[in-house]
Every structure is written in C-alpha cells, then in structure tokens.
Amino acid sequence: MTQRQPQQLLLIWLLLTVTIAAALFVAWQQGYLATLYASDRSYIAWLVSALFVLSWCHGGLRAVQLSRELTRADSARWRYRQAAQPEPVTAADAATVRAALPPSSVQAYLGDWLANRPAARDEDTATANELLRSYEYQLKHPQELGWLATDVMLKLGLVGTIVGFIMMLASVAGIEDFDVSSMQGVLQLMSGGMATALYTTLTGITCSMLAGFQYYILDKGANHIVDTMRYISHALIDKTARS
C-alpha cells in the first residue's frame, strides 16, 4: 500500500478554495454578485454567505489538523509494515516502534491499545471496539458542527423561498383598483419577491453543496486515520500482542 503525499488533504482543500475564489471573482466582475445581494430584500443571502465563510474557515482549520494527522498515520503504517516483515511484531517491539513515532492520534491509540491488550483477548471484543470508536469520535466530532452549518444553509435558502413568495402575495393582496398604473407597481413588487425567493434559494443550495463537499473530504480523511489504527492493531501486531 502506497503512502499519501505529505499534506495531501490540505492541498486538496487549498485547490478547492482557489477554484471557488476564482469563480467568485468572475461572478463579482460580471456583476452577478451585486445583482444577487441587491435583489434579496430579505437579507437571507447575506446570512447564508456569512455562515458559509465561517464554515469554510472552520473546514480549513480542520484540514490543517487532519492533514498533519494523515501524514503521521501513513508514516506509522509504513513503520509497522516494515517491522512486521516477515512476521507480525511482538508487543515489546510494537511499543518500541510506537515510541519512535511523533505525537499523533495513531500513536495515542496504539499506546492505549497496547496497555489494554490483556483485557481484550478476542479480536472483536467490546473493549477493543469501544477504544476505536472513542478515537473515531474524537476525529469526526469537530466536523459535526460543519455538517450542522451545511444543513442550516440549505434550510435558510428554503426559508428565503417562502419569504419571497410571501412578498409576492402581499403585493397582490394590497390591490384595490386594477388599473394600468397600479398593476405596474404590483408587477415590480412581485418581481422583487420572486427575485428574493430565487436568489436566496440559489445561495442556500450552492453554499450548502460546497460546504458539504468540504466536510465529506474531511470525513474521508478521518476515516483513513481510523482504518490505519485498525489495520496496525488488528493486522500487524494483533496476532502476537495478545498471545
């Protein structure tokens, strides 16, 4: 199994960030952004955009942290694979290899796993599974806030749709005389409500999709770290560490 390139997750996040920034620059230069925010009389598009920026900054911080963890996890995998040839490493050798690793989630997990191995003699015991789930929760828990923000952005876009239609209906409800001059004003109000509905929906869906893709990448990175923990403890040192 080949190692990842150092900081690969962070590089993917940066590439995605640059792509989005370039698209936003083009949209601003063409006047699309100005039209969007000027047409939204509910200001929900502004709220969604602010939430998106905050979630993207949060995702960038997590990308830095997880990228560092991934690099160290792959290094630990490689070291244990080398030590496990041709036979799985013993518990003492596993502890020696672990001591040479830089601090990381994988190193901490292996320390706890080796310390508790007498209590977990079967490969699928509750003790081993609970320990792995605990570390998986630590790696994925920070992303839960981002997934919540992603869902809120989508819901705000739908709220903007409702608000826009309410504006349209309110403009029609206030009609008393159906003459040409009054209908022109009504049509302007209706078009404003429709613009609010469509632009807030577009903003909510777009921001939600982009943020969701970001957190999907981060969760994939966390899953790789958990798989590395499982692979090392169950495939490379499991057979001899519990004998």
pLDDT in tens, 110-134: 888 888 765 445 554 666 678 889 9
CA 68 to chain centre: 16
Residue 214 resides in a domain: yes
Q: Is residue 129 part of a domain?
A: yes
CB 145 within 8 A of CB 224: no
Q: What does the angle CA 137 – CA 63 – CA 237 come to, to the nearest 5 degrees?
A: 50
d(CA 190, CA 151): 29
The answer to whether residue 52 is domain-embedded is yes
pLDDT surpasses 70 at 175: no
Determine the pLDDT at residue 125. 60
User: What domain count does the chain have?
Assistant: 1
User: Looking at the domain assignment, is residue 1 inside a domain?
Assistant: no
Instruction: Give domain status of residue 3, yes or no.
Output: no
Tell me the whole-structure pTM to 2 decimals: 0.84
Radius of gyration, CA atoms only, the chain: 27
Domain span including residue 156: 8-241
